Amino acid sequence: MDFIFYFGDVFSPLSFLLLLGGTIGGLILGATPGLSPTMAVALLIPFTFHLEAVQGLILLGAAYTSTVAGGAVSAILLKIPGAPANIATTLDGHKMAKQGQGAKALQLSFLASAVGGIFGVLLLIFLTPLLAQWALAFGPSHLFWLAILGVTVIGSLDSASVVKGLLSGCIGLWLATIGFDDIMGAQRFIFHPSLGGGINIIAALIGLFAIPQVLTMFAKGRRADGAEVIEVQKHSVLDATRELLRRPRALSIGTITGSIIGLIPGVGGQIAGLVAYDQTKKFSSEKEKFGKGHSEGVIAAEAANNAMVGPSLVPLLTLSIPGSPTAAVLLGGLLIHGIFPGSDLFDNHPDVAWTFINSMLVGQVLMCLFGLYVAGLAARVAQVPQSVMAAIVLALSAFGAYSVQSSMGDVYVMACLGIGMYFLERFGFSAAPLVLGLILGPIAEANFIQGGMIADATVGKASYFLSGGLNILLIAVVVASIAYSAWMELRSRRYTTKEEAQA
């Protein structure tokens, strides 16, 4: 129950102001189609340099939480999901808005998001210390396999092609080796002076997540987006609360599904929302109403995508393994303040860890309160032409990358990685495993070298890295995640072929 002791810190004036700003800003950014939560958090990192670690994390955590919820605004009022996590919300939310129930849909989405989100953060609070203690038993070989596991799980589960996902992870691991070797001081892959100090993680994150979105907006050309905001009539929040309480099945299925999916590294909010929607429909006595503007569809989807936020941080805070691309960006935010997740975080920086987690709990309530009032404004912002949005994101990316170390080299690296990632994405590669490779590469290498030294002095490399219960378990999970994804890919391809044959 350590978290209770640090609750007051959330309400210190600057921390609370940042929490408020992050929540309101996140709601507006989340409602803007094309700006993903990951990109929003990546663009915010440079603003945290001048803050204390805990304040920086509060800002990033608030933005993460509220961008996911804010995405529901454009999903409901514009039929454009603000983020992939809000796809399922569009199915019934937009229909409700068209039937004149836009305000009710928005209220239900924020209320359900808050319930799901609070449950998710409570899971984070109670699971994290247990797992952090368990992580103390990890040696270099286990940490090496954990880092590899982080890359392969996201590479295989988060990508349309297993091979391309794993290849993206390999590219990230290779990029992490660029620069001077820590032990021998040897130059590795430095083919341009800008790379002398290695690839700066923040510049890379901004480039990999923001620049492809800018180029995607450019590729659409000079066309009006054509999205029309549906006007919302007034609706009593009390009535919406009663409606939510009348739908406990949708709320609990959404919350539990989202929490479980959030704990699995690599499985994002998009899947959480869709799975919860599907399960709620299966168990509902009003199946026929789904897809026609049914409140249960909105409740399940939004409870799920916010419930996954807290649990998705469990592997990050305990084992240093980010469970999602946004968690990877948060890891970047921790590392720039010299804080390493794991048991060290809770032993040496309990104030940072618990204040950050508590702020996410308070943030859920603020998100719900402000979401109900900011929704109208957020929907207007979502109508900003993509040309303006692309230019804003490009300039913010350049300034953000430069401000990391006041180096033009970081701006060049950001642009090159971003342009490269855009084309890689067009060929089926994915940014998430590449980013994880880049972040986990140094952890994997450090433990590989350290483990190698221990192995040379004791049982030999093969025995050290490939034997022992925990090593075998981790290797088995790596192999199983790849095999499962490959099997799913083959199965869907076979079905596609069969459908094509029938057509």
Partner 1 sequence: MNRSQHILGSGLVFAVGIWVAWVSYTQQPAEAFLFPRLIASVFVVLAGWTFGKAALGLSKVGSGVSRTMFLNMVPGLAVMLIYVFWAAKALGFYTATAIGFFILLSLYDPAPHSEGKTWVKRMLVTAVFVAVMYGLFAKLLSVYTPREILF
* 3-class secondary structure per residue, 251-263: HHHHHHHHHHHHH
Where are the strands (E) in 312-412, listed by range?
none
Instruction: Please report how close the Cβ of residue 156 comes to partner 1 at its closest, in angstroms.
Output: 12
Q: Does 454 bind partner 1 (CB under 8 A)?
A: no
By CB under 8 A, tell whether 163 contacts partner 1. Answer: yes
Pair 212, 421: CB distance under 8 Å? yes
* Cβ-contact 70, 28 below 8 angstroms: yes
493 sits near partner 1 (criterion: CB under 8 A): yes
Residue 183 or 472 having the CB closest to partner 1: 183
E strands, 61-186, where? 179-180
Contact at 8 Å (CB) between 1 and 354?
A: no
Contact flag: residue 171 with partner 1 (CB under 8 A): yes
Query: For partner 1, which stretch binds (CB under 8 A), given 99-107, 305-313, 339-347, 381-389?
Result: 381-389
Among 89, 113, 128, 161, binds partner 1 (CB under 8 A): 161
Site for partner 1 in 424-453 (CB under 8 A): 424-429, 444-445, 448-449, 452
Amino acid at 296: E
Sketch the per residue contact string, 193 through 222, with partner 1: x for CB under 8 A, - otherwise.
---------------------xx-xxxxxx
CB of 159 to partner 1, least distance (A): 8
Report the nearest approach of partner 1 to the CB of residue 462 (Å).
13
- Residue number with CB closer to partner 1 (168 or 257): 168
**30 vs 51: CA distance, rounded Å:** 23
Contact 122, 116 (CB under 8 A): no
- The region of 122-130, 159-167, 276-284, 326-334 touching partner 1 under the rule CB under 8 A is 159-167
Residue from 130, 395, 459, 480 binding partner 1 (CB under 8 A): 395
CA-closest candidate to residue 210, choices 444, 445, 453, 32: 32
Per-residue contact flags (x/-) with partner 1 for residues 409 to 428, judged by CB under 8 A: --xx--x---x---xxxxxx
Q: Is 46 left (phi over 0), alpha (psi -120 to 50) or beta?
A: alpha
- Among 122, 170, 227, 369, indicate the residue that binds partner 1 (CB under 8 A): 170
Q: Where are the alpha helices (DSSP H) in 382-468?
A: 386-405, 408-426, 431-457, 461-466
Strand partners, 180: 187
The answer to the question of residue 28 lying near partner 1 (CB under 8 A) is: no
Q: Which stretch binds partner 1 (CB under 8 A): 103-111, 311-319, 367-375, 400-408?
A: 400-408
CB neighbour list of residue 491: distance below 8 Å, 6 or more residues apart:
none
Nearer to partner 1, 82 or 418 (CB): 418
Binding partner 1 by CB under 8 A: which of 4, 365, 388, 466? 388
What phi and psi values does residue 187 have, to the nearest 5 degrees? -80, 135
Surface-to-core class of residue 222, CB atoms within 10 Å of its CB (0-12 exposed, 13-18 middle, 19+ buried): exposed
Give the phi and the psi of residue 34 in degrees, each rounded to 5. 100, -20
Token digits of residue 372? 């109900």
Straight-line distance from the first to the last Cα atom of the chain, in angstroms, rounded to the nearest whole number = 60
> By C-beta, is 226 or 469 nearer to partner 1?
226
Residues 186, 238, 462, 501: which binds partner 1 (CB under 8 A)?
186
CA distance 76 to 54: 34
Q: How far is CA 159 from the centre of its chain?
A: 15
Among 86, 384, 389, which Cα is nearest to 229's? 384
59 counts as binding partner 1 under rule CB under 8 A: no
Q: Is 164 in the site for partner 1 (CB under 8 A)?
A: yes
- The least CB distance from residue 450 to partner 1, in Å, is 11
* Three-state DSSP state, 341: coil
Q: Where do the H-state alpha helices sit in 294-349?
A: 295-307, 314-319, 325-335, 343-348
- Between 89 and 156, CB nearer to partner 1: 156
Pattern 318-357, partner 1, x by CB under 8 A: ----------------------------------------
- 389 in Cβ contact with 45 (< 8 Å): no
Nearer to partner 1, 150 or 258 (CB): 150
Report the candidate in 502, 451, 332 with the shortest Cα–Cα distance to residue 400. Answer: 332
Q: Scanning residues 228 to 257, which ones bind partner 1 (CB under 8 A)?
A: none
**In whole angstroms, how close is the CB of 55 to partner 1 at the nearest point?**
14
Q: Which of 22, 25, 34, 46 binds partner 1 (CB under 8 A)?
A: 46
Interacting stretch for partner 1, rule CB under 8 A, among 166-174, 299-307, 371-379, 480-488? Answer: 166-174
Q: Is 394 in the site for partner 1 (CB under 8 A)?
A: yes
Sign of CA dihedral 436, 181, 320, 37: negative
Identify the helix (H) or strand (E) that includes residue 187: strand 187-188
Give the number of residues in contact with partner 1, rule: CB under 8 A: 64
Does residue number 385 form part of the binding site for partner 1 (CB under 8 A)? yes
Closest approach of Cβ 441 to partner 1, in Å? 8
Q: Tell me if 408 contacts partner 1 by CB under 8 A.
A: yes
DSSP state letter for 188: E
Which residues form the interface with partner 1 (CB under 8 A)? Answer: 46-47, 49-50, 160-161, 163-164, 166-167, 170-171, 173-174, 177, 181, 183-184, 186, 188-189, 214-215, 217-224, 385-388, 390-392, 394-396, 398-399, 402-403, 406, 408, 411-412, 415, 419, 423-429, 444-445, 448-449, 452, 493
